[in-house]
Structure 1
Amino acid sequence: IGEAEIDQLNGLKLNSHILQESIAKQINENPGAGWKAAINPRFSNVTVSFQLP
């Protein structure tokens, strides 16, 4: 992998949404998780790179 590809992958990670149905499903299907995951619409557009003002 070249430097350009690494930069592209890092950009994709930073632009990923923090709330993902697949993660919530994985947590909720685990009986030993100790908590239940939910998707809050308030945070539906927040990405990994989001910064508070």
Structure 2
Amino acid sequence: MKFVNYLEKISGVSIYPITSFLIFGVFFLIVLAWAIKADKKLIEDISNIPLDK
């Protein structure tokens, strides 16, 4: 039996893709806003961490 058949038997399963998409979208927007507002010196310091040794 395919995995889709198991999902079809769960009532209200259609809310899970919508919820996961909203969580991803909110997280993406938060990270995008932080990247735009972040101090450029901080971004440069973070990007040089692997090269410090």
Higher helix share: 2
Q: Which of 1 and 2 has greater Rg?
A: 2
- Larger RCO, structures 1/2 (Cα 8 Å, 6+ apart): 1
Bin of the TM-score, shorter chain as denominator length: 0.3 to 0.5
Q: TM-score, normalised by structure 2?
A: 0.35
